[in-house]
Amino acid sequence: MSSIVLFGPPGAGKGTQAQRITGHTGYPQISTGDMLRAAVTAATPVGLEAKSFMEQGLLVPDQVIIDLIADRLKHDDAKSGVMFDGFPRTVPQAQALSSIIQISHVIAIDVPDDAIVERICGRITCGTCGTVYHERFQPVPKDGCSCGNYVESRRSDDNEEVVRSRLETYHSQTSPLADYYINKGIFHKIDGHRNIDEITSEILSILS
Ligand code: AP5
């Protein structure tokens, strides 16, 4: 099994691109952020542990994440490959992953910090199907979400104070992971400060 990692700062467009590319690769999108939010909503032991880290824009402890991913990869839909969105985020997470599956491509979406706050503070999500939109850059279509039941949802960590903390966490703990994958020769950095369609085309061309 060979899999893909979408890497980049908060608001880089990892989720947006994963939703578009999964239709081309057939790989399921695995977002640790989405899994953790579901666990928080369901008040599971993982959710109860993760909640305060997420609210402060800090990383949830590695072992919690590694166990979550190891369980998720046992599902049938993960057998022929997956697309990770927001995982791994530390070298220990990447090392643990390498003992379970092989990664063929790490796509790093590069966006300057000053563009991130506007992206995140304007993010809206369809609460029914999870499609990501933006008030200005990717508005909900006039006839509503393609799922037919648009319900506006916003994340509690999408405010300026927490975004700045998430960015600090990214620079101190996650961006050093780039060297780990550069050394493996599978790291592809792309300019994420462009039109969403152009970014999708470049990712698809790298994957082909
Ligand atoms: P997570 O949910 O993974 O959040 P994140 O990494 O901060 O990333 P986002 O989901 O905010 O951004 P994105 O890159 O997916 O951007 P999107 O496509 O939505 O993690 C949340 C928390 O969970 C973490 O802080 C941490 O506590 C914990 N956590 C998760 N994984 C963990 C792990 N592995 N280890 C430890 N802790 C973990 O786009 C953003 C907005 O911009 C949208 O509105 C979109 O429409 C818009 N947009 C997208 N592309 C463009 C473009 N090209 N131009 C203009 N606008 C665009």
pLDDT, tens only, 78-134:
999 999 999 999 999 999 999 999 999 999 999 999 999 999 999 999 999 999 999
The answer to whether the Cα torsion of 94, 96, 99, 102 is positive or negative is: negative
Which of 5-9, 22-26, 71-75 shows the lowest per-residue confidence on average (mean pLDDT)?
Answer: 22-26
User: Are residues 28 and 77 in contact, defined by beta-carbon separation less than 8 angstroms?
Assistant: yes
Which tokens hold the place of 11?
């608001």
Residue 122 in any domain: the answer is no
Q: Residue 176 belongs to what domain range?
A: 2-111+172-207
- Residue 71 domain-assigned (yes or no): yes
Contact (CB, 8 A) for 84 and 4 = yes
- Asked whether residue 8 is assigned to any structural domain, the reply reads yes
Pocket of ligand 1 contains residue 173 by CB under 6 Å: no
Residue 157 maps to a domain: no
Using CA atoms, how far apart are residues 91 and 182, in angstroms rounded to an integer? 13
- CATH code of 31's domain: 3.40.50.300
Cβ–ligand 1 distance for 137 under 6 Å, the answer: yes
Residue 143 lies in a domain: no
75 is a domain residue: yes
- How many Cα atoms sit within 13 Å of 20 on the Cβ side? 16
CA distances from 51 to 31, 130, 156, 169, 203 (A): 16, 20, 11, 16, 32
Q: Does an H or E element contain 125, and which? A: strand 123-126
What average pLDDT does range 37-53 have in this prediction? 96
Confidence of residue 18 (pLDDT cuts 50, 70, 90): very high
**pLDDT mean across residues, the chain:** 95
Write the residue with the smallest CA distance to atom 8 of ligand 1. 10
Partnered with residue 103 across adjacent β-strands are 3
Please check whether residue 146 lies inside any domain of the structure.
no
In a domain, 68, yes or no: yes
Residue 1 in this model has a pLDDT that exceeds 70:
no
For residue 98, the 8-state DSSP code is H
β-pair partners for 2: 102
Centre of ligand 1 to C-alpha 6, Å, is: 11
Give residue-wise pLDDT tens across range 144-176.
999 999 999 999 999 999 999 999 999 999 999
Q: Is 107 in the pocket of ligand 1 (CB under 6 A)?
A: no
Counting the structural domains of the chain, the total is: 1
